[in-house]
Structure 1
């Protein structure tokens, strides 16, 4: 607890002290601007600050600005995650998990991830947090209806109290009862960010605080008998609330708090007619405390197997403290070089030991270790090169990665990029160690599992005229996954497993929009192929999204709108099953899902800085058959009409 207060004091106090200083002269924003699409000094005809001055800086210091346009990409991102869900399929209720339709084998993680990864789709990591610089206060409100008795709201506010100091506050809240029994979702994501730069530009800092809680009631999906009734479209169960799911007395929750601070001080900051040179000391301090909990008022031994007690209370925690010290050198001739040495202290586990069949299962993975990271970036004319490397200097948590990316602009309308990613890291914590009141969910694989090793090579071509295309080929050794080992009297035995042979995975994706007057057809198609001796990694061979829409402006161009139909489809395959106790997906080869079209009709409009969305989701559900599932025993959504808006205020 003392570490929390220390970090909070170091984090917040200097921010508010610096925020009281009122600058007398203009200073530049301290950030890279590789994605900045317009000049910072642009101004609107009305004399008010132009939209290009409202800057957004991401984790990698790439900068863009607030975008209030109405485009088809905004339609794709208007959802609970506020991300394009092309390679994911949602469960029935907003705030539930997503089944992933593809795998990105590239990673820069060099340590295990926390438990309950199926709950992490809406858990905002360090890389999901943005920082801001705005000439006037900016507010954004996101609202969307949900599935019975609830709403989804994301409210955001940011202001620069001076040209040097900015802070932002945001909260995303959701409550949705859902159409099935015991499927309520209730989530909250609080974010506070700040950034500051001294007048002379030598010292800069940025940081954030997040507090997140994601609660889901769990029902285990439909029973096998009801799955068949669902497919047959039996009239009395068109009202989904009459279904009796596998159980109605369980819930899981993921909570986390994070304090993150980054600082830099320039020892050399020389700008002249021949070269720009900057040498800086850097420091990062980050602490995250999170837990995952599964509660069930009475044990369901038919579904999960035997248990130690009549009521289930499983809880696992993680404390992760990270700090680094480094040096950054930037020169317009040499490029940018970063190197840092870090220290990491992790404490994952449970509060008690478990003895099962005469064997004692330990309760902790607790260690600390040093490591290093380095990066290089250089742009030479139309050529851009990025490279990163990192490693843990630890015998307990071994991990390393190296990636290199090179891009070349062939013309104003054509950009080619290639990259290589190589990594090695331990499986996630809950693959290595898990404890539960259910006897089937106890294991210790720390001495049995080896590092997951991946190698990926990828190429992409981006063009507004010709479309976008990407291809990547991955080789995975020691692939680690949750496996459906057996089904005994409807009890599913799910255990972590490691595949010791190699897996080759190919992914090809093409996107192109065709326009004819005010009509447009936007197409995205992905082909996938997995080569291995066993079916341990299952993905659909084909995933496609096609949107035909019409755009126009009316009322003297004061209202812009677009309307159209989107088709989503993925081919049949043995889709991963969902385990509500682990909050993880597992590999199974007994049940196919997919092969059903999802048609959405939408009407979107923009008035000033307000974007209004109306969608009839999956309107074909009643006439193309009821064989639509997000995972085995977990149906996809029925036809529903939802609406909402995104509203920006520029004061």
Structure 2
């Protein structure tokens, strides 16, 4: 007799079988004997990072169900993020991350999570046409759709196209059914290698378009209190809440052409490679109805400007900026069974320009002027500027079987325009050393980097600053930020004890001269050093067919006493699920629950006109937990999940804040399907 759990699972997954069965009909190519010829095992993904290591075998496509129902894995950046409560909205990393980017950088990163960098585009070696689509739909209006088609025209040549859409509806305010975010991305890619596998070419072009209706967050009424967790006097009435903006519109457009090619001069010990990367990022913010109270005072935005609180236009805002970058990288790489190396030199040419409304004129639709032009000579410090920079870097590693490994990697900016940067106060670099012995490893990271372009100059209707030496010298008046980080890790599997797997790490980070956006929304620099202590733990195990996955990150030193950096002291995520094959192994299914917890902290505020998150001290977001339950199933090449998110709503609170005055999603139902074709 079947166990009660087994019987319940069969009935619970029966309707998933009914839904998924039609999807499995022709997902794989078979011959006359019904033996599978092409499928997941014959399709491999090739990444540029692997080819840079002289490895071209690729990795099998991921068919695992475990991460499919989790929303943070629907975007390209899967780290925990602080966002504005809607899928596809502006976001920033929730936990501390070290910086590896040197030299000229635009500094508008609020929508990076939605865009895949050209160096990370996957290429498919499928032996047959391969395609897939994924679709996720939520009852609150969130939506993810992606369709991809790849075809091998010859044994060593393939092309493909990919279209992706990420969107979310407004969840607060009277227009809660309207769209709020929409991201569209189109990518075309191709891969080629010679018969002898000595020459490899990876090339892609992508165009992404992001549109966001900025609401400014909830505008509390006289009867509402931030401290109230339930009822009409709380800020969790969603469609009944009022918002500040009517709205503003943020545009983030990006284009990128990326080419990688390598030629093996000798055996695997000596390969030359070249990378060409050309990209453009455009950011525009428009608000044609600046909010004011009955006395004409400007709401939401800072009120420091002379034009009734604004700097240029008292009734409308239209600020735009464009960053262009061209990079050429030439390098040599190679590896043997124990030694691996990669050395390179990279030249970067970048340019920046900005447009805004003319001074002392009001109203929307005005002809914009270029910042720093003859029409706006007073803004000459923010005039269009060009950067020419040379970087050198590399990696060297030694491995002795699986017992011992040492790696040293780094990058240095020796030439910035006509200035030669010597290692010292103004130098930009990062240097990382790693050592591993068995399950233990240690890492030391040292870096020094300059402020971003946006941290150096900004001219707009609500913010203005210039943190550069002069019109022709864009060296920042801020000192370089430097960090020293020491991390130790333990990673160990214990297969004899219920497949236990543990990961532990502890890090000490010293931050000096940190540049951040202060409570006024403008860039500032800390004169004192800050120390962070970061602990991470993850434990995975199973009991029979029940699997558990728990992780948590503890951060000390980024609370309200730190004037420039804010991180919750504790962030945890726990998952428990039961999985097995049912219906004669026709269906592989999971049923489970997950719980996310975040401790209270003074989260960053968000300024849409600069696209920046800034430190604020007036709003403390309380600790909260979000519980989800889900059912997922795999049948042949189709995957399906159904999920009820935030099932614990109203038990303690009617909602939670993800950013000051921005609430997270209420309870909702989500459905997703992913289907792969091998013909």
TM-score, L = length of structure 2:
0.80
Tell me what 1:501 maps to. 528
Deviation, 1:90, is 4.6
Deviation, 1:244, is 1.7
* 8 Å contact from structure 2 (residues 69, 643) kept in 1: no
Tell me what 2:45 maps to. 56
The answer on 1:391 being equivalent to 2:382 is no
SS in 2 for 1:431: helix
* 8 Å contact from structure 2 (residues 171, 665) kept in 1: no
Tell me what 1:551 maps to. 579
Tell me what 2:299 maps to. 302
The answer on 1:404 being equivalent to 2:423 is no
Q: After alignment, is 528-537 or 574-583 more displaced?
A: 528-537
The answer on 1:70 being equivalent to 2:75 is no
SS in 2 for 1:241: helix
Structure 2 Cα separation of the partners of residues 428 and 158 of structure 1: 37
Tell me what 1:196 maps to. 192
Compared with structure 1, are the counterparts of its residues 359 and 98 closer, same or farther at alpha carbon in structure 2 (3 Å cutoff)?
Answer: closer
Deviation, 1:168, is 2.2
Tell me what 1:423 maps to. 447
Deviation, 1:482, is 0.8
Compared with structure 1, are the counterparts of its residues 501 and 510 closer, same or farther at alpha carbon in structure 2 (3 Å cutoff)?
Answer: same
Tell me what 1:473 maps to. 508
* 8 Å contact from structure 1 (residues 403, 422) kept in 2: yes
Compared with structure 1, are the counterparts of its residues 336 and 513 closer, same or farther at alpha carbon in structure 2 (3 Å cutoff)?
Answer: closer
The within-5 A match list for 1:453-468 is 453-465=482-494, 466-468=501-503
Tell me what 1:540 maps to. 568
Structure 1 Cα separation of the partners of residues 398 and 601 of structure 2: 43
Deviation, 1:589, is 2.0
Q: Which of 75, 89, 107 is equivalent to 1:81? A: 75
The answer on 1:435 being equivalent to 2:459 is yes
Deviation, 1:575, is 1.2
Tell me what 1:217 maps to. 213
SS in 1 for 2:110: helix
Q: After alignment, is 244-253 or 461-470 more displaced?
A: 461-470
Where structure 1 has 5 or more consecutive residues not aligned to the other structure, the ranges are 1-43, 270-276, 485-492
Deviation, 1:49, is 4.0
Tell me what 1:619 maps to. 647
Deviation, 1:508, is 1.1
Compared with structure 1, are the counterparts of its residues 378 and 130 closer, same or farther at alpha carbon in structure 2 (3 Å cutoff)?
Answer: farther
Compared with structure 1, are the counterparts of its residues 104 and 78 closer, same or farther at alpha carbon in structure 2 (3 Å cutoff)?
Answer: closer
Deviation, 1:237, is 8.3
The answer on 1:643 being equivalent to 2:636 is no
Structure 1 Cα separation of the partners of residues 385 and 415 of structure 2: 13
Structure 2 Cα separation of the partners of residues 620 and 531 of structure 1: 29
Structure 2 Cα separation of the partners of residues 77 and 148 of structure 1: 14
TM-score, L = length of structure 1:
0.83
Compared with structure 1, are the counterparts of its residues 77 and 150 closer, same or farther at alpha carbon in structure 2 (3 Å cutoff)?
Answer: closer
Structure 2 Cα separation of the partners of residues 108 and 82 of structure 1: 18
Deviation, 1:520, is 2.6
The answer on 1:330 being equivalent to 2:361 is no
The answer on 1:187 being equivalent to 2:183 is yes
The answer on 1:119 being equivalent to 2:111 is yes
- How many residues of Structure 1 are paired with residues of Structure 2 in the alignment? 583
Tell me what 1:343 maps to. 347
Q: After alignment, is 180-189 or 610-619 more displaced?
A: 180-189
Give CA-to-partner distance per residue, 1:140-166, whole Å, 9 cap, x none: 211011455673201112222222112
* 8 Å contact from structure 1 (residues 361, 442) kept in 2: no
Deviation, 1:601, is 1.2
Compared with structure 1, are the counterparts of its residues 231 and 102 closer, same or farther at alpha carbon in structure 2 (3 Å cutoff)?
Answer: same
* 8 Å contact from structure 1 (residues 136, 160) kept in 2: yes
* 8 Å contact from structure 2 (residues 372, 379) kept in 1: no
Q: Which of 606, 610, 619 is equivalent to 1:582? A: 610
Deviation, 1:347, is 0.4
Compared with structure 1, are the counterparts of its residues 574 and 78 closer, same or farther at alpha carbon in structure 2 (3 Å cutoff)?
Answer: closer
SS in 2 for 1:200: coil
Deviation, 1:82, is 5.5
Deviation, 1:98, is 3.3
Tell me what 2:590 maps to. 562
Tell me what 2:282 maps to. 291
Structure 2 Cα separation of the partners of residues 556 and 548 of structure 1: 24
Compared with structure 1, are the counterparts of its residues 332 and 549 closer, same or farther at alpha carbon in structure 2 (3 Å cutoff)?
Answer: closer
The answer on 1:366 being equivalent to 2:386 is yes
Deviation, 1:627, is 5.2
Q: After alignment, is 557-566 or 313-322 more displaced?
A: 557-566
Tell me what 2:479 maps to. 450
Deviation, 1:317, is 0.6
Q: CA RMSD in A?
A: 2.7
* 8 Å contact from structure 2 (residues 590, 633) kept in 1: yes
Tell me what 1:604 maps to. 632
The within-5 A match list for 1:132-281 is 132-146=124-138, 151-181=143-173, 184-225=180-221, 228=225, 231-234=229-232, 240-269=238-267, 277-281=268-272
The within-5 A match list for 1:87-106 is 87-98=80-91, 100-105=93-98
* 8 Å contact from structure 1 (residues 202, 266) kept in 2: yes
* 8 Å contact from structure 1 (residues 505, 531) kept in 2: yes
* 8 Å contact from structure 2 (residues 252, 283) kept in 1: yes
Structure 2 Cα separation of the partners of residues 312 and 626 of structure 1: 35
